[in-house]
Amino acid sequence: MESIIIANADIYIALAVIFGLFMAWGIGANDVANAMGTSVGSGALTFKQAVIIAAVFEFAGAVLAGGEVTKTIRKGIIDVSSLGGTPEILVHGMLASLLAAGVWLLIATRKGWPVSTTHSIVGALVGFGAVCIGMDAVSWDKVGTIAMSWVISPLLAGVISYFLFRSIQSLVINTVDPVANAKKYVPMYIFLVGLVISMVTMVKGLKHVGINLTFNECLGVAVLLGGVLMVIGTLLIRRLTFDPKEDKHFHYTNMEKIFGVLMIFTAMAMAFAHGSNDVANAIGPVAAIVGIVQNAGEIASKSATPIWVLFLGGSGIILGLVTYGHKVIATVGSGITELTPSRGFAATLGAATTVVLASGTGLPISTTHTLVGAVLGVGLARGIGALNVSVIQTIFLSWIVTLPAGATLAVIFYYILAGTLG
C-alpha cells in the first residue's frame, strides 16, 4: 500500500497545500476577524492597522507558542496506530478534514457567524476517525476535554473581562475627572498586558524552540517587558491632544482616546494569543500529511513542522482577514454590544489571557467562544440591557451546528477523495 503514497506523492502534497491554504484563509476570514473585532468595532484601530498588527503578531504567536496545540491537533484527537499498513487512509482523512473545515468556515463567514475554527477541524477529525477508522479510534476523553472548554473558556474570559471593566469603572469612568485618572491608570493596564502575555508565553510556550527558563527568570523578563511597554504607552499618551468641546456629545470622548492607545497593545496581545492557539488548526493536518509522504508512507509518532508549512498557514490567515474579514468583524465589533475602547480593552485582555493560558496547556480551545464570552462579560458589567440577545442566540446556535457540520462534510469528502485517488 505504500506504493499509493509514493505514486500520488506530488498530488497529496499539492492538495495539502491547497486545502491547508483554504483552511487558513477561513481562519483569517472568521477567527482573526473576531480576534480583531473589538479593536476595530470600538474605533481604536482602523481595519488597515488591524491587518498590519495581525500579520506581525499572528506569526510570532504561531512560531513561539504554537507547538503544544499543534501536537494535540495532529495526533491527540484520533488514534492512528492501526493504520500502519494503510497510511493513505490517514492522508485522505486529513485532506478531507481540512477541506470540510474550510468549507464550513466559508459558509459561516458568508453569514457573518463567528464560529470556532478549532471545533470545525476537531469535528472533521472526529467524523473521519469514527466513520472511516472506527469509534475506538477517537480519543473520546480528549473530545470530552475540548467540549468542556466550550463552557470553561467563555466563562473564564467573561469573568476576567467583567472584573477588568468593573475596575475601569471604579478607577476611571465613575470619577470626577475621568481623563486625569485614565492618564494615571492606563499605563498600569499596559504593564498588565505585557506582564500577562510575556509570563504565560515564557512559562508554557518556549520549550519547543529550545528556550528553558526558570519561573523566576520568566517573571523577571516579563516584568521588564511589561515595564518597557508601559514606558512606550506613557509616551504615546503624552502625544495625545484633548479638546473639552469633544466631550459635549459623549462625556467620555477624551478619556476613550487614552484607552485607544491601550487597545493597540491589547490587539497585539490578542493576535499573538490567537496565533499561538489557532494556526495549528490549519498547519497541523498539513504537517501530518507532509510527514507521511516524505517518509514514504510511514506514520511517524513525532515529526517536526517544516517552516514553509508555518508560513503557508500564516499567509493564508492574513489573506483571509484582508479579503473577507469585514463580515465577522461587524458581528463581534458592534453586533453583540456597543463597544468603546475601554470596553474593548477589558474584553480583549480577558480573552487573550484565557487563550494564551489554554495554548500553554495544549488545550485547543476556541478563540471565538473565548472572545464572545469576554464581550458578554463586559456587556453584563453594564447591565443585561446592553446586550443584543437575538445576535447572541444566533451565535450560540452556529456553535452547536459546527461540530456535526464539520464531521458530516469530512466523511463525504473522505469517500470522494478515496474513490478518486485509490
Angstrom distance (rounded) from CA 98 to CA 83? 19
**Residue that is written with C-alpha cell 480583549 in the block:** 348
Report pLDDT for 296.
Answer: 66
If DSSP codes are grouped into helix, strand and coil, which group holds residue 1? coil
Rg of the chain, C-alpha, whole Å: 22
pLDDT on residue 376: 85
Element (H, E) at 219: helix 215-238
Give the CB-side neighbour count of residue 235, counting CA atoms within 13 A: 6
Q: Are 117 and 283 in contact (CB under 8 A)?
A: no
Name the residue among 316, 355, 169, 340 with its Cα closest to residue 257: 340
Q: Looking at residue 103, what is its pLDDT?
A: 96
Do residues 227 and 190 lie in contact, with contact meaning Cβ atoms separated by under 8 Å? no
On whether the CB atoms of residues 58 and 281 are closer than 8 A, the answer is: no
pLDDT of residue 360: 62
How far, in Å, are 270, 326, 353, 373, 388 from residue 347 at the CA level? 10, 19, 10, 8, 16
pLDDT per residue as tens digits for the range 53-63 = 887 887 777 66
Full residue range of the structural domain in which residue 108 is found = 2-421
- CB crowding 127-148: b at 16 or more within 10 Å, else e: bbbbbbbeeebbbeebbebbee
Domain count, the chain: 1
| pLDDT less than 50: residues of the chain | 1, 69, 72, 74
3-state secondary structure of 352: helix
Which grid cell is 161? 473581562
CA separation for the pair 175, 166 (Å, rounded): 13
Q: Which pLDDT tens digit goes with each residue over 75-101?
A: 567 777 776 667 788 889 889 999 999
**Which pLDDT score, from 0 to 100, does residue 95 have?**
93
pTM of this structure: 0.79
